[in-house]
């Protein structure tokens, strides 16, 4: 079954000076249900635009984005979206932030809070339910955000460089927790969630995903490579990065990505003469 | 800083709050002492500047015989009505404009024009329209409070973080829930930060209105004293006004700290 499909999708924006700017050009790929797909590309290549299209926050200029129920014409009701920036409401405590999705769906405050407390415990924040986001560290805010999105139990999880602002060690532990959450769906007999994870870090993409999609440098980014990740699960992120299969795939994909990074750097340089 | 290891209350740059309070009192006391001494030594003429002890005696006399309470109550009533009506109108219109940018663009020049009108020139008009009673003063206070609240709310709604809005929409919020969980709290922070200023302006509106034509209120007291060259009376009226404003501000700060607890 397909959870998400991009069918010849392009997206244009009108720049403030009135010129048309094409962010994505003729993107086609499918994400099977239950798969973990990572999308990598140089910065500014339209990765966030891709996720906004999958979320239904944006509509394509050409082509079709299909969700579980067919063509998306508005918000994707099967998806939840973890943004790169902090998106916890600063005026709600960690507990109320995690409970928010349930409250919005009509759950009683007491039920929602009790459920939120269980999720806070799962992400290691049991003692911090009454803290406001400004009183939590960056890593803690990301944990709370993960709980906020997992609690509403949507089948598709969109993640936009969620850990890019964290230090290396916090990041590694967050990646581990994400995989543990995702893999635990198997054990509980529930259907596995589909994850589309956008990052500019090739290592992170390979370490986490079943399949890596490489986008070209923008503007008019295209899919330049798609590669399955031949690594078993569950994965030990601490050891993985030295495994031969990991190193080989990294080398193969880096050759492709390197050219795109160079192109995007050339494009970003001021034109001379 | 999840550990919450807060030391003794510390203000900016590590100066203790208690030290600041001591200095605040010291500044006030020495200014009053200097004033008192200069007048006692006849370096300043009490006819023009009165004298702190005289002013204190007058304030005590007023509160002793009860004449000041009616005036104070009148001024407070006008200010609070002005604050309430002005805030309600400002917040409602600010929200409405914030949610419909086209409307805001159409009305933008008119709002700016109206805001540029010096309120004091409106006072005689309001006297004409609403009479000598409290409503002409309330109207003046409203014209001052309205714009502060309008601009804060408008800003608050428009500046609501795009990511917060998208995130809450993805979590399943309807338009109404979006307003309740994101837009209102976001605007509230702006509204509260302008509440102090609004309160001050409401008092200014009320007192200026009374000053220009009324039979009650602190503005009336001050204008009567001025009419008889009673400088002590003028200063005593200002003192009462100042004390009341300081007390109310402290209460508002407390309310603000409580409602915006998440900001610390």
Can you give the pTM of this predicted structure?
0.78
Which pLDDT value is given to residue B5? 43
Tens-place pLDDT, residues B156-188? 888 888 999 999 999 999 999 999 999 988 888
Element (H, E) at A40: strand A36-40
pLDDT at position B7: 47
What are the residue boundaries of the structural domains of chain B, listed by start? 1-44, 51-263
Q: How far is CA B55 from the centre of its chain?
A: 24
Q: What class is the B51-263 domain?
A: mainly alpha
φ, ψ dihedrals at B168, nearest 5°:
-70, -35
pLDDT at B11 over 70: no
Cβ distance of A87 and B167 shorter than 8 Å: yes
B170–A57 C-beta distance less than 8 A: yes
A16 Cα to chain B: minimum distance (Å): 17
Position with higher pLDDT, A128 vs A18: A128
pLDDT 10s digits, B229-249:
999 999 999 999 999 989 998
pLDDT at B1 over 80: no
Complex ipTM value = 0.89
Report CA dihedral (A55, A59, A62, A66) to the nearest 10 degrees: 40
Which candidate in B6, B156, B170 is best for mutational testing of the A interface (most A CBs within 10 A)?
B170
Task: Give the residue from A89, A95, A154 with the most B CB atoms within 10 Å of its CB, the best one to mutate.
Answer: A89
Residue B16 reports pLDDT greater than 50: yes
Residue of B nearest to A105 (CA): B172
| Cα–Cα distances in angstroms (integers) from residue B228 to residues A132, A154, B221, B225, B232, in the given order | 58, 78, 11, 5, 11
- Residue B12's pLDDT band (boundaries 50, 70, 90)? low
Does the beta carbon of A152 lie under 8 angstroms from any beta carbon of chain B?
A: yes
A104–B177: do the CB atoms touch at under 8 Å?
yes
CA-based R_g, chain B, Å: 23
Beta bridge partners of A160: A198
Q: What is the pLDDT of residue B213?
A: 87
Contacts of B169 in chain A (CB under 8 A): 57, 75
Q: Give A171-205 pLDDT, tens digit per residue.
A: 898 899 899 888 886 556 677 899 999 998 999 99
């Amino acid at each position: 079954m397909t959870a998400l499909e991009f069918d010849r999708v392009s997206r244009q924006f009108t720049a403030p000076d009135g010129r048309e700017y094409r962010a994505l050009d003729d993107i086609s790929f499918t994400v099977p249900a239950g798969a973990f797909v990572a999308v990598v590309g140089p910065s500014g290549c339209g990765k966030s635009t891709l996720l906004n299209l999958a979320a239904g926050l944006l509509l394509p200029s050409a082509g079709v984005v299909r969700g579980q129920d067919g063509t998306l014409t508005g918000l994707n009701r099967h998806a939840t979206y973890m943004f790169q920036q902090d998106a916890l409401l600063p005026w709600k405590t960690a507990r109320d932030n995690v409970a928010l999705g349930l409250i919005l769906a009509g759950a009683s405050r007491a039920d929602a809070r009790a459920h939120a407390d269980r999720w806070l415990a799962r992400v290691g924040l049991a003692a911090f339910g009454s803290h406001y986001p400004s009183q939590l560290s960056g890593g803690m805010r990301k944990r709370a955000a993960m709980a906020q999105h997992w609690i509403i139990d949507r089948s598709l999880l969109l993640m936009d460089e969620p850990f890019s602002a964290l230090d290396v060690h916090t990041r590694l532990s967050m990646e581990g927790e994400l995989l543990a959450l995702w893999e635990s769906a198997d054990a509980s007999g529930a259907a596995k969630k589909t994850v589309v994870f956008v990052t500019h870090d090739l290592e992170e993409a390979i370490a986490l995903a079943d399949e890596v999609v490489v986008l070209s440098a923008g503007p008019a980014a295209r899919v330049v490579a798609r590669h399955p990740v031949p690594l078993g699960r569950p994965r030990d992120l601490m050891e993985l990065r030295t495994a031969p299969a990991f190193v080989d795939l990294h080398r193969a994909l880096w050759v492709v990505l390197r050219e795109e990074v160079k192109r995007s750097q050339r494009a970003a340089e001021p034109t001379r003469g | 800083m999840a550990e919450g290891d807060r030391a003794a209350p510390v203000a900016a740059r590590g100066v203790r709050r208690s030290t600041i309070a001591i200095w605040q009192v010291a500044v006030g006391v020495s200014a009053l002492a200097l004033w008192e001494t200069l007048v006692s030594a006849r370096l300043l003429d009490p006819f023009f500047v009165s004298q702190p002890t005289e002013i204190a005696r007058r304030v005590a006399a007023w509160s002793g015989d009860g004449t000041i309470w009616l005036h104070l109550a009148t001024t407070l009533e006008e200010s609070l009505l002005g604050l309430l009506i002005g805030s309600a109108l400002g917040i409602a219109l600010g929200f409405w404009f914030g949610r419909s940018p086209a409307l805001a663009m159409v009305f933008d020049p008119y709002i700016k024009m109206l805001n540029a009108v010096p309120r004091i020139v409106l006072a005689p008009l309001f006297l004409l329209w609403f009479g000598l009673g409290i409503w002409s003063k309330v109207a003046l206070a409203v014209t001052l409070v309205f714009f502060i609240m309008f601009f804060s709310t408008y800003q608050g709604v428009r500046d609501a973080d795009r990511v917060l809005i998208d995130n809450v929409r993805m979590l399943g919020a309807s338009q109404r829930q979006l307003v309740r969980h994101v837009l209102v709290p976001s605007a509230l922070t702006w509204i509260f930060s302008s509440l102090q200023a609004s309160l001050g302006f409401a008092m200014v509106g009320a007192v200026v209105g009374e000053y220009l034509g009324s039979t009650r209120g602190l503005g009336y007291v001050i204008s009567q004293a001025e009419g008889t060259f009673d400088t002590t009376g003028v200063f005593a009226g200002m003192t009462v006004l100042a004390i009341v404003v300081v007390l109310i501000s402290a209460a508002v700060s407390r309310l603000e700290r409580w409602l915006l607890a998440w900001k610390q």
